[in-house]
Structure 1
Amino acid sequence: MIVKMKFLTITGPKDDLDRMMDEYLSRYEIHLENALSELKTVRDLQPFNEANPYRELLAQAKSMVELLDGSLDRPEGSISMEEAVELIKQLNWQLEEKNSHRSDVTAKLGEVREKQKKLEPFRSLSFDTSRLQGFRFVKHRYGSIAKTYFREFEKYVYDDLETVFFKCKEDSETVWGIYFVPASEADRVDAIYASMHFERIHLSGDLQGSPDEYWSRLDEQEKELAAQETAISRSIAGELKNRRKELLLAVEKLEKLSENFEVRRLAACTREHHEMFYILCGWMSEKDAAAFKEETESDENVYCVTEDVDRSVDSPPPTKLKNSRLVRPFEMFTRMYGLPAYNELDPTLFIALTYALIFGAMFGDAGQGLLLAVGGFLLYRFKKLQLAAIVGYAGIFSTIFGFLYGSLFGFEDILPALWLRPASSEAMVNLPFVGKMNTIFVVTIVFGMALNLLVMVFHIINSLKAKETGDTWFDHNGFAGLVFYGAAVTVIILFMTGHSLPGGIVLALMFGVPLLLIALKEPLTNRLLKKKAETKNSAVMFVVQTFFELFEVLLSYFSNTLSFIRIGAFAVSHAAMMEVVMMLSGAESGSPNWIVVVFGNLLVCAMEGLIVGIQVLRLEYYELFSRFYKGTGRDFKSYTHPRSKHLSKEELS
């Protein structure tokens, strides 16, 4: 179901915004809208143009928390904004010297590691490369080149160029090396190398000895600086240990204050009698809106106005779904198609019931269904995957239909069929003018007709809620389509069951009038709404266009109905595939090869289960959803988000 919404406008003194949000708004879920866009009729509105004063303090506080050892669970208690700000400033002042020393060490450590990174590819050079600096008539360059360009360089350029390239290291993509060139030709050769995407690497001027020897000295410096950095960090952590609880509370407080401050980009401010006021706009659930309004009524600095959904606003209400825990996993399918608009029906319960039911009918096996159910729910229990829960529900219905079909891991002689066996000759039934047809095909077509009638009712409800008169009465999925399709279904069922057909007048009224209304949907809608037609086509063009549109509608009714035959087809094919498995295992002789039985069941369960799952979703989306559901809603996004009590390293970064 879709949670009912209220539109809130909250205002008060500009300097009181942080307090209002901290004391009241932070405890509720609200989808904020841009106040400047929503309140276009209000004069003298201005945006907030203030920098976040908590961002830097929060970064400093998080850097301190990163130095703490052990669990980072938030302790019980609270701290005020003033106390949090003062604590971080005080700790920064106390640790200023050590932090400065650590910053210097960290900077030096970064420089050493950067030198090591540059020098690493050239460690294979075994001579004293510093002697190259004294060459007057020969220049040298360190660098790298992509392997693809290096091959072209070797094949087409290298032999005709006055240079010597010495390869030092290579991997699957890059070649590192050093090249030598006469000083008189350096500019020309450098340009040619650059054209081949040679990237120069400038090694430091203090390079002494061989690159490997210099790299080893840098490695010793790196270890020494890293040890210094660790020692300083431990010293700082030791001093922070006594203020651990206050520091964690301060981080939580500053996070909330910083998050609240970011709301200013959606707020507006206005001046009234030389005093500045803020204005916030957003959507809340009816329950939260009533509680928030009641809580702030006694606060003279907070003024709140709630309005109903049908107010004239540019932005439609966001959609917040609220379904029971049993149905909630199927919200994934709803969101994949598109969230319902606020005034649409939520199809989650519908898809939950029909998806599991159709899956079970197409994949009816008590044993394999039980495996799907147990595996799906176990995976959902430990991994919280919504799709796993859907598989679990589908497995339950597969098990139920397995008993109805009398199928257990493909064995047809263990369980009695409570209804019928899809692939047996006993499942056939005689129909007038059709002849013999599998009963399950007949049942699935009737089931599809019933679903089509139901979704047409959903379409009418959605159209009435959206106040779309033409779609309500004259659309092929509206009232006219419901009457026509319902009459057609009734006539077919009466005919197939041997009952006499209704009279010609009834047929004309039930078939002809609805089709005429569907054909004249546009002019009838314009007349009801007293609107003038935008374009005027000739009578001949109108008749031709209407004829083909009506033909397409009739064709869609026919193809949509026949599409549900796939339910029975997959039920029969599943039984046939398991018959093949039983035959290959030698089950007919009474002593089956159990390895073949187990492997065959796993293969069929995995392969056909995936195919059936996709086919059921196709039926839901293309045959059912397309008749009544648009999915044009936008998600309800609260500016506040529930936080866990554990402060993770990701939150600190």
Structure 2
Amino acid sequence: MIERMEFLNITGPKDDIDRIIETYISKYDFQLENALSELKNVKELHAFTDSNPYKDILSRSEELKEYFKDKKIQTDRHMSIEEADKITRTLSDKVYDFSQKKSELEAKLAEYEEKLKNVHYFIGLDYDTEKILHFKYVNFRFGSMPKEYYEKFMSFVYDDIDTIFYKAREIDDKVWGVYFVPDSIAEQIDAIYSSMHFERFFLPDEYHGTPEVASTKLEEKIKELKDSILAVDNKIIKTLEDSHEDFLLANKVLYRFNKVFEVRKYAAATRDNRKDKKVFFIICGWLTEKDADRLAKELENEPSTFCIVERDLSKVLSTPPVKLHNNFIFKPFEMFVEMYGLPNYKEFDPTILIALTYSIIFGFMFGDVGQGLVLMILGGIIAYKKKSRLAAIIARCGFFSTIFGFLFGSIFGFEDIINPIWLRPAKAMTALPVIGNLNTVFVVTITLGMFIIIFMMILSILTKLKFKKPGEALFDTNGVAGLVFYTSALITIILFMTGNPLPASIVLLIMFVLPLILIFFKEPLSAMLEKKKVHLEGGTGMFILQGFFELFEVLLSYFSNSLSFVRVGAFAVSHAAMMEVVLMLSGAESGNINWIAVVLGNIFVMGMEGLIVGIQVLRLEYYELFSRFYTGDGRAFKPYS
């Protein structure tokens, strides 16, 4: 069911707004609406422009909170906002000093890591880099070239030019090293190296000893810096841990006051017409009927605060939000309703309808005592432990699968253990006039589907009348005209199949032709009924042509929608056939049963067919049921808590 909502206007002295929110409003699920938008006709309204004094300090508190592994607190101790602010600022200042020190250390660490990276490429160079960097008459170039060019260079060029290339390391298809060249011919040799795709690498002149020695010293320095950073982190954590409970309580208080203050962005302020020109706040929004009455009663004790409950929702500009409320049996199926769209506030909640039809149809298509019990037990366990709505739905579907398993006489695919209470899906046949023998479950599911469609048409008529659309309620394909035509078709088929005489021709004319004429002229008739101007878009000829094709589509859809329910019987038959295959492959017919094959086969059927059946039933729900009466354009109830 959809919980009844009420709209509240709460007014009081502006200076008292935080106390009223903290003491009363915050205790309830209250969906706030923008007061300026709701009260457009009230003069001299303006928004609150005060800046949030808790926003910055809460931000600092949240940053500090990241240092804690255990962020839970259980205490009944009261803390004022002033105390919370002081504790947070004191700790923040202490941590800030440590953080500054940490930032300096991290900057040095990044610098030394970059140096290590640079010298890493030349570890194979067994010479003091400091001496190389201070050569006067010989130029040097540190760098790298692709391996393929290095090999060509060494094979065809190196012996013919005045240069020395010292290979240090080979990393990722690149050869790293340094070459030397006399200063007088440096430009010529540099050009040759450049043609070999040599890329220079500028090594700073602050290294001492060979690259390997320099690398070792840098690694030692990096380790020292990391240890220093870890020590600073430990000091921060120690500082915070010493005030663990106080800090987390302060964080909670700051969060609550920040949340309370943010309510102001929904509120409006006005002035009283009395001489003192006292400033008042206005807060408005939605609560459930029960909570609205409780809050209004509590506010009666506040002499300066007034609460008005608006029960006539036609006077409220915003659309009432929707909150579904069902008992634990049907509640998991709210998930399917939400997937399609929440009901409009004026609609009825289809949760119970989808719960019953989905479970029954699933059970019909997947009837097996053993497999049904497995689904029910596993689904129940997962739903209990993980709070999964889907698992809870599976458990309920498993219950109906068990029931239909007894009706079909099937337990884990074995049909010789228990006798069917009703029939065997794959074997039961019914003789019908003209058609001949037809599987009984097909006849039952098509008939059941037609009755379900008729019920959906009745819901559609009631819904459209509730939305004050009498034209659609009377002349739509899912209205009275469509209901009369479709019901007449069902009655005629039943009479014919059971060998009973059909109604007289005049009755058939009223039952079939008149409803189709009304559906054909739906638009002009609806306009006349609702006292609107009749307008035939495109002229009379286009209206007749379009109406003819639409009427043909209506007749086709009635036929196809009815046949859609054949799949229910088809899956019941196919389930039995699949289990026969499983038992045949496991050797059940020969009497030498391979129980491992039986178990694996049942798991496979439960997994694959269970998934397919679940999807097919959901398709029937959405396309054959919901589409006839349901809009699903409701607005979710989102309380500001």
Q: How does the TM-score come out when normalised to structure 1? A: 0.84
Partner of 1:146: none
- The answer for the alignment partner of 1:338 in structure 2 is 341
Partner of 1:420: 423
1:79 is the counterpart of 2:116: no
Does structure 1 retain, via aligned residues, the 8 Å contact 2:122–2:169? no
8 Å Cα contact 2:113/2:222 also seen in 1: no
Question: Of the candidates 104, 111, 116, which is equivalent to residue 107 of structure 2?
Answer: 111
Alpha carbons of 1:204 and 1:293: their partners in 2 closer, same or farther (altered >3 Å)?
farther
Q: Does 1:251 align with 2:251?
A: yes
2: CA distance, partners of 1:545 / 1:521: 12
- Judged with a 3 Å threshold, the aligned counterparts in structure 2 of structure 1 residues 597 and 300 are, in CA distance, closer, same or farther, namely same
Look up the match of 1:296.
299
The one-character-per-residue Cα deviations of 1:278-319 (angstroms, maximum 9, x if unpaired) are 322211111111111111123133222221353244431111
Q: What is the RMSD of the two structures over their aligned residues, measured on CA atoms?
A: 3.8
Residue 350 (structure 1) aligned to one of 348, 353, 361: 353
Residues 80-107 of structure 1: per-residue CA shift (max 9 Å, x gap) = 3344334434x44xx74x4343122221
Which position in structure 2 is the counterpart of 1:650?
Answer: none
Structure-2 residue corresponding to 1:559: 560
Aligned residue in 2 for 1:487: 488
2:404 counterpart letter in structure 1: F
Superposition deviation, residue 574 in structure 1: 0.8
2:53 corresponds in structure 1 to 53
Q: Specify the alignment match of 2:122 in structure 1.
A: 125
Q: Which amino acid aligns with 1:306?
A: V
Percent identity, please: 47
Distance 1:288 1:369, change over 3 A: same
Q: In the superposition, relative to structure 1, how do residues 13 and 132 fare at CA in structure 2: closer, same or farther (>3 Å)?
A: farther
Aligned length: 610
Report the CA distance shift for 1:397/1:216 in structure 2 as closer, same or farther (over 3 A): same
CA contact (8 A) 1:18 1:261 kept: yes
**Paired residues for 1:565-644 under 5 Å:** 565-640=566-641
Structure-to-structure mapping, 1:112-511, within 5 angstroms: 112-115=108-111, 118=114, 122=118, 123-126=120-123, 127=125, 210=211, 212-213=215-216, 215-237=218-240, 239-240=242-243, 244=245, 246-272=246-272, 274-308=277-311, 310-424=313-427, 427-511=428-512
Letter in 1 for 2:498: T
1:441-463 residue CA offsets vs partner (Å, 9 max, x unmatched): 11101110111011112212221
| Bigger mean CA deviation after superposition, 621-630 or 42-51 | 42-51
Secondary structure at the aligned position of 1:553 is classed as helix
Q: In structure 1, what residue type is equivalent to 2:318?
A: S
SS of equivalent to 2:589: helix
Given residue 43 of structure 1, which amino acid in structure 2 is its aligned partner? K
Tell me, yes or no, if the aligned pair for 1:585 and 1:593 is still in contact at 8 Å.
yes
Measured after TM superposition, the shift of residue 70 of structure 1 is 5.9
Residue of structure 1 equivalent to 2:153: none
- The separation in 1 between residues aligned to 2:456 and 2:558, in whole angstroms, is 13
SS at 2:423's partner residue? Answer: coil
Partner of 2:38: 38
The structure whose Rg is larger is: 2
Cα distance, 1:341 vs. partner? 1.3
Structure 1 residues 518 and 233 mapped into 2: Cα distance closer, same or farther (>3 Å)? same
Contact 1:10 1:303 (C-alpha < 8 Å) held by counterparts: yes
**Counterparts of 2:404 and 2:56 in 1: how far apart (Å)?**
62
Letter in 1 for 2:239: I
Gaps of 5+ in 2: 151-155, 157-164
Q: Measure the CA separation in 2 of the matches of 1:181 and 1:55.
A: 63
Displacement of 1:468 after TM fit?
1.9
Which has the higher mean CA deviation after the structures are superposed, 587-596 or 432-441?
587-596
Relative to structure 1, the CA distance from residue 353 to residue 104 in structure 2 (aligned partners, 3 Å threshold; closer, same or farther) is same
Query: How far, CA to CA, are the matches of 1:32 and 1:54 in structure 2?
Result: 21
The answer to whether the 8 A contact 1:112-1:218 is kept is no
Distance 2:639 2:61 in 1: 26
Structure 1 unaligned residues grouped into runs of 5+: 143-149, 193-197, 641-653
TM-score (norm 2): 0.85
Aligned equivalent of 2:28: 28
Partner of 1:530: 531
In 1: Cα distance, 2:249 partner to 2:627 partner: 51
- Paired letter, 1:453: I
